[in-house]
Amino acid sequence: MFPAGTRFSWNEFKEAFRAHHIPAWVIRRKLNEFLALEQGNNAVTQYAQAFNTLSQYAGYHVETDEKKQTCFRQGLSSKLQERLVMFKFNTFSELVNGTITQEDARIAHQVEKKRKAPMGGSSSQANQRFRLIQAGPPRAPYQHRPVYRPHIGLRNSSQVIGQHSTRRDIDHLSTHNLKG
């Protein structure tokens, strides 16, 4: 034990407390979780909460505000990283607030795009074509019927049969030749 009246800094107390109450393997596991942490499909607020919770185990990775900001930016989605690349924030809290603002602006833009999008599928109205429909009685579909002309002097139906002949036409010609 320490003599009465000994003063400890917060970091000294924290290290002594962790060494006594938290096993080293737990700290290593939480550090690995912190280093692998990414925003993914989570909202910035959810990511920031997980970041703050796990940063307790990150030690020197977040010992300065600048290092903390760097780690936070690296875990953000690529779209938010792209939007924040030109911004420099003085504190970690300002970075988190700026990131939430950018995410809100991106979501509002997406909602506005959906609201302005034409209804009725993915095709735009400029590409739509309209079909004219003529009103009136329905017509039977066109059917090709060969025209047969009797040839004088034919003795046999095989001389008349062509590529458009049907069985009915052949029977008709046979009957016609038999009568003549």
154-178 tens-digit pLDDT: 555 455 455 555 555 555 555 555 5
- 159 token code pair: 């001389």
Say what the pLDDT of residue 133 is. 65
**Percentage of the chain modeled with pLDDT above 70:** 65
**Per residue in 126-147, pLDDT tens?**
566 666 666 666 666 666 666 5
Say what the pLDDT of residue 8 is. 86
pTM of the model: 0.59
Say what the pLDDT of residue 91 is. 97
| Residue 80: CB atoms within 10 Å | 20
Say what the pLDDT of residue 88 is. 95
Read off the pLDDT band of 19 (50, 70, 90): confident
Q: At what angle do helices 65-75 and 92-116 cross, to 10 degrees?
A: 20
**Does residue 160 fall inside a structural domain?**
no
Cα(48)–Cα(100) distance, rounded to whole angstroms?
10
- 87 token code pair: 């911004």
**Does residue 139 fall inside a structural domain?**
no
**Does residue 142 fall inside a structural domain?**
no
Read off the pLDDT of each residue in 56-61 and give the average, rounded to a whole number: 91
**Does residue 172 fall inside a structural domain?**
no
DSSP for residue 157? G
Contact call for residues 99 and 89 (beta carbons, < 8 A): no
Number of structural domains, the chain?
Answer: 1
Per the structure, the complete domain to which residue 49 belongs is given by 10-113
**Does residue 125 fall inside a structural domain?**
no
Is 156 strand, coil or helix? Answer: coil
Return the C-alpha torsion angle 46, 52, 57, 59, nearest 10.
140
Read off the pLDDT of each residue in 22-35 and give the average, rounded to a whole number: 93
**Does residue 66 fall inside a structural domain?**
yes
